[in-house]
Amino acid sequence: MNLTTKRTLGVVAAAALALGSVVATSAQAAPKSVTLVFQNAVTGPNAGLGADELLGAQTALYEYNQSKPAVQIKLVMADDVSDAATASSVAAGIAGNAAVIGVVGSCCSTATKASFPAYKSGHLTIVSPSATNPSLTDPKQPKSNGFPFFHRVVPTDAFQGLALARLAVKGVTAPKVFYVDDQSTYGVGLKDTTAAALVKAGVTISGKDSVPAGTADYSSTASKVISSKANVVVYFGYYAGAAAFKKAIDLAGFKGTYASGDGTLDGGFITQAGKSDAEGTLITAPTVPFELAASAAVLADFTKATGVASPSGHAYVTETYDSINVFIQCIKEGHYTRSSIQNCVQNETFTSIKGSKFSFTRYGDVSGGAPVGAFTIKNGEISYLGNA
C-alpha cells in the first residue's frame, strides 16, 4: 500500500465521528448498544500499521451489521501513536469509560504493555492482532504481562525470531550478520530471540547496535555496518526506523541482504525508504494475507466495508478481523459486561476466517500457535513468499 496524507486524515476523521457517538450502555440484559475500542497508531510515523488493521475491523463490523443485530456495536477509535506514554494516558481514559466492554489492539507491543496497568485495574479485556513480545504473556514476568485480561491471536516473537533468523541468512554464503534494535519493547524482544537463534545456528555476528526509535541520523551506525564487513543486516523495530536505517546503509555502500520483522511489514516502509532502497528487503510476520485467507464473499464485503479495492499489501487485516470477531461472538452469545466478556474470551472456542478453531491459553496466547509468513519487497510492492 501507499500511505497517503488523505488516508490518514480520513482515519482521524472517522475517529472523531466515532468518539462523538459514544453512549453509556444500560444495565439491561440486552442493551441497544455496546462499545468496543480500536486502540492503535492512528497518527504518527507508524500510522500505516493502524490504518491497515482498521480495515479488518471495518470488514468484521460490516458483516455483523448486515445481519441487522438487535445489539449494535459502536467502535471507538483511540490513537496511541504507537508510543508508551501516549498509550498509558489513552488507556486510562478508556478504562474509565463504563460504556467500553472490550479493546481490540494495540498493534505494537510497546503501546500494549504501557496500557496494561489501566486495563488490568479496570478489568477490561484486550485482544491484540499483532502485539508479539513474549513478555506480554509470560507468567514469569507479572509486571510485564497482561494477565488475565490480555489475549492475542498471533504467536510470540519466540517463534518469529526463529523464522527471521532462518530467512535473513537463507542462501547467503558465509553469512556475517550486523543487527540493530530500536530500543522498543517489541524491537528488543525480537532481537533477543533472533540473535539467540543465529548464535545457536553458528552464524557469525559481525556487530550490533541499539538506536532509539525516532533517530534522524543513522550515518554513525551505517559506518559501523560497513566497517564490520557484514553481508546481512537485520533491523528490529518499526517501519519508520527501518526505512531511515536502510537508506543510510545503502548510501554508505552496503550491498548485502537486509531483513526485518513484522514492524516493517507496511507500505509506509516502501514510501519512506524509497522504491529502490526498499527493493529486496526480507520481512517475517505472523500473519496470513487477507486475500489468501478470505472467501470470495468476504473479499467482496471487505471492499464494501472499506472502499479499498484489494487487501493486498495491507498487514494484519486477517488477524484484526479474527480479533474483533472474538468480541462479536461473545456479544452474540449475550455477553454485555466487562466481567462477562472476560469470561467468554478466556473460556470459549472461536472460529478464524480460515474456518479453523482456536482458543486462548490461561495467559492469553493463542492455543496451538500460528504460522509465521515470509515476505519481500518486489517492484515496490509487498510480496508474500509463504511460510518462513
Summarised one tens digit per residue, pLDDT across range 279-333 is 999 999 999 999 999 999 999 999 999 999 999 999 999 999 999 999 999 999 9
- By the 8 A CB rule, do 218 and 164 touch? no
Q: Does domain 5-155+289-358 have CATH number 3.40.1740.10?
A: no
Q: In this structure, what are the phi and psi dihedrals at residue 182, rounded to the nearest 5 degrees?
A: -100, 15
179 pairs with which residues across the strands? 208, 234
Annotated domain spans of the chain: 5-155+289-358, 158-285
Q: pLDDT at position 368, please?
A: 75
C-alpha cell at 202: 553458528
3 state SS of 282: strand
- By the 8 A CB rule, do 183 and 213 touch? yes
Determine the residue type at 248: A
| Kind of pairing between the strands at 373-378 and 381-387 | antiparallel
pLDDT in tens, 323-373: 999 999 999 999 999 999 999 999 999 999 999 999 999 999 999 777 899
Asked if the domains 5-155+289-358 and 158-285 are classified in one and the same CATH topology, the answer is yes
Residue 113's contacts (CB-CB under 8 Å, 6 or more residues apart) are 84, 133, 135, 136, 144, 146, 185
Residue 12's contacts (CB-CB under 8 Å, 6 or more residues apart) are 42, 43, 79
* Predicted model pTM: 0.88
Q: What is d(CA 285, CA 251) in angstroms, rounded to the nearest whole number?
A: 27
C-alpha cell at 220: 554513525
Q: pLDDT at position 10, please?
A: 38
Report in angstroms the alpha-carbon separations of 2 from 119, 187, 262. 34, 24, 17
Give the distance, in angstroms, between the CA of residue 254 and the centroid of all CA atoms in the same chain.
29
The domain 158-285 is classified under which CATH number: 3.40.718.10, 3.40.50.2300, 3.90.1520.10, 3.40.50.150?
3.40.50.2300
pLDDT in tens, 103-114: 999 999 999 999
